[in-house]
Structure 1
Amino acid sequence: MAETIEQLIVTKASGEKVLFSVGKLELSLRKAGASEEITQAVLCKLEPRLYEGISTRKIYKIAFSILNKLSRSTAAKYSLKQGIMELGPSGFPFEKFVAELLRVQGFATDIGVFVDGQCVRHEIDVVAVKDGKRYMIECKYHNLHHNKSDVKIPMYIQSRFKDVEKVWPSEQEYEIRFHQAWVVTNTRFTDDAIRYASCVNLHLVGWDYPYKGGIKDMVDSFALYPLTCLTTLTRAEKQTLLDMKVVLCKELHHNEALLHKAGVRDKRIQEVLQEIAKLCGD
């Protein structure tokens, strides 16, 4: 790309104006599995469509459109963050998605568990158990990229955790019900949220936090892509599947019946299954 592109001012979702970074775009394409040839082809086709002040969201949309014509499975991986954003509007698909990410790491999980605390009754998004320890996991789903989880969220979750942490068989004795609380979000945490969580031993998982342990890293490691990443399904078909409580691509793997039930036409089913196979590593 021409050197002048490096001087281009772009607009982030927050409204902040920054210099365009070709390197960051190249890295995001390569992380999605794009070859050097495909990466350079995307950059070459993207350059003439850039202009001063263009939003980073618009750049993503253009890059995705170009990439989708070159490699659908790579485009699906590239759209992971947006795909997770489309798991709403209810929180259940994201909770199921988080539970599955934990399950493949050896946790036993339950979704939507009601628990009596010392003061009030609570619904826990995900209860996870591993190596004899039980974790209370709260899922904070956002449908906008710039929405961060601020310090109020971990403070609120910590107060709920303290209410359900112990079970009191008698006034003098108690048993540990939960050993730690987690907050999992599909975006990012503010610095104060991270600082507070560290202070009270609350575990945070965000889009790219902690380092090499965020949602993006887990999805890539275990190939657990949400079906909303698929480029071969329409928005309506995706929503139908979500309404059926189907969330993951792997649930559709070799499962023509589910696709039929969602209204996908016969002539497109094989196309969808091929994209899923590439994403799931088949």
Structure 2
Amino acid sequence: MKKIIITKANGQKAEFDPNKVVTTCIRAGADPAIAKQIARQVHSRVRYGMTTKEIYKIVLRFLSENATPAIKQRYRLKESIMKLGPAGFSFEYYIGQILRHYGYKVLSVGAKIQGRCVIHEVDLSLESSDEKIWLAECKYHNFPGRYTGLKESLYTHARFLDLADKFDGEMLVCNTKVSPEAITYATCIGQKLLSWRFPPQMGLEKMIEEKKLYPVTILGPNKRELELLSKSNMMIAKDLLDIDIYEFAQKTRLPIKRLVAMQRLTNQIIS
């Protein structure tokens, strides 16, 4: 295949790698043969200087033609997380829901806590299974290409130092990638990082995929539906499977037919 230089979301230039398309499609649930076919189709349409956003749309188009709706929606995981904020959802609350499924107990969300010097609004206070208390700072970005960097890591550590008598550990959580400098610093001071693709073996996306904790935005609800779901604190898609559909329809004013369709898609996504 010919080499083509594309433009990443952060403006940097890079060589287009069709293997990444194969990997991400397979992770979304596509058959390897279909994933390779899509990669070839995408590669034939990529042009010099094309942005990753444009390529992403091409991949989605071919997924629509060659795969199930559930696979296409799973492929949109990162995009779905970035839709949480504009939809009125709390990223901290969503992270708390994820960590709860991994043995953490959420003690507070957005609580104001007096430190040695000043009062801090702590995104998340958590208790791990070994009874350690954690301060978690959550950094949310609603556009791709934005790294969470050294500044955010330093900020989290400074807050932890002022609250050191109340917490045993610190954590920085974000929905984008973290910079190499942030990883180096966090490793040095013992700060736990959780982000997109980091730690490599269990980054945020893998934690979500492993326990099927997809955000409700992955179902593709419209603006009105998102507002109604937000008011009901319905953040995890599979939680829709546990509701009394008639009672929930009456509470949210969402049509029963639409809720049934969302439940059906949820079942397909988590299967």
Same-fold call, TM > 0.5? yes
- 1:276 is aligned with what amino acid? T
**2:72 alignment partner in structure 1:** 75
C-alpha spacing 1:62/1:243, structure 2 compared with 1 (3 Å): farther
Deviations 1:164-223 (A, max 9, x none): 111xxxxxxxxxx21111000000111111111122111111101111121011001111
Partner of 1:242: 230
Quote the offset at 1:19 in angstroms.
1.8
1:208 partner letter = R
Report whether the alignment pairs 1:196 with 2:185. yes
- Does the C-alpha gap of structure 1 residues 68 and 272 become closer, same or farther in structure 2, counting only changes over 3 Å? farther
Deviation of 1:252 (Å): 1.4
1:237 is aligned with what amino acid? Answer: E
Give CA deviations for 1:23-47 in whole Å, capped at 9, x if unaligned: 1101100011111343245345545
What's the counterpart of residue 252 of structure 1?
A: 240
1: CA distance between counterparts of 2:267 and 2:249? Answer: 14
Instruction: Classify the secondary structure of the residue corresponding to 2:125.
Output: strand
Contact 1:151–1:196 (8 Å) recurs in 2: yes
Name the CA distance, whole Å, in 2 between partners of 1:236 and 1:66. 28
For normalisation by structure 1, the TM-score amounts to 0.86
SS of 2:90's partner is: helix
What CA distance in whole angstroms lies between the structure 1 residues aligned with 2:189 and 2:249? 45
Structure 1 residues 148 and 213, CA, compared in 2 at 3 Å: closer, same or farther? same
Q: Deviations over 1:223-269 (max 9, x none)?
A: 100011114x2243224322432211022124334456555434333
TM-score when scaled to structure 2? 0.89
Cα deviations across residues 127-170 of structure 1 (Å, max 9, x unaligned)? 1112121000010001111111111111111111111111xxxx
Q: Tell me if structure 2 keeps the 8 A contact 1:87–1:242.
A: no
Letter aligned with residue 269 of structure 1: L
Name the aligned partner's letter for residue 275 of structure 1.
Answer: L
Q: Which amino acid aligns with 1:222?
A: K
Cα distance in structure 2, aligned partners of 1:268 and 1:41 = 33
Shift of the alpha carbon at 1:280?
3.1
Find the aligned partners of 1:23 and 1:119 in 2 and give their Cα distance.
51
Kept in 1, the 8 Å contact 2:25–2:75? The answer is yes
Please tell me whether residue 13 in structure 1 is matched to residue 2 in structure 2.
no
Greater C-alpha radius of gyration: 1
- Which amino acid in the other structure matches residue 267 of structure 1? K
- Bigger CA drift: 271-280 or 205-214? 271-280
Q: How does 1:1-282 map to 2 (within 5 A)?
A: 3-4=1-2, 7-43=3-39, 45-47=41-43, 49-69=45-65, 70-89=67-86, 93-109=90-106, 110-130=108-128, 131-166=130-165, 177-231=166-220, 233-255=221-243, 256=245, 257-258=247-248, 261-281=251-271
RMSD: 2.1
Aligned equivalents of 1:271 and 1:39: distance in 2? Answer: 27
Q: For 2:134, what is the secondary structure of its paired residue?
A: strand
| Stretches of structure 2 lacking an aligned partner (at least 5 in a row) | none
AA in 2 matched with 1:159: A
Aligned AA for 2:178?
Answer: F
User: What does residue 172 of structure 1 align with?
Assistant: none
Q: Do 2:174 and 2:195's aligned partners in 1 also have CA atoms closer than 8 Å?
A: yes
Q: 2-side partners of 1:150 and 1:10: how far apart?
A: 24
Question: C-alpha separation between the residues in 1 aligned to 2:227 and 2:49?
Answer: 33
Matched position secondary structure for 1:253: helix
Does the CA contact (< 8 Å) of 1:83 and 1:229 recur in 2?
Answer: yes
Cα distance between partner residues in 1 of 2:61 and 2:118: 49
**Whole-angstrom CA distance in 1 between matches of 2:250 and 2:56:** 31
Moved over 6 A (4+): none
User: Gaps spanning 5+ residues in structure 1: where?
Assistant: 167-176
Q: Which moved more, 1:84-93 or 1:57-66?
A: 84-93
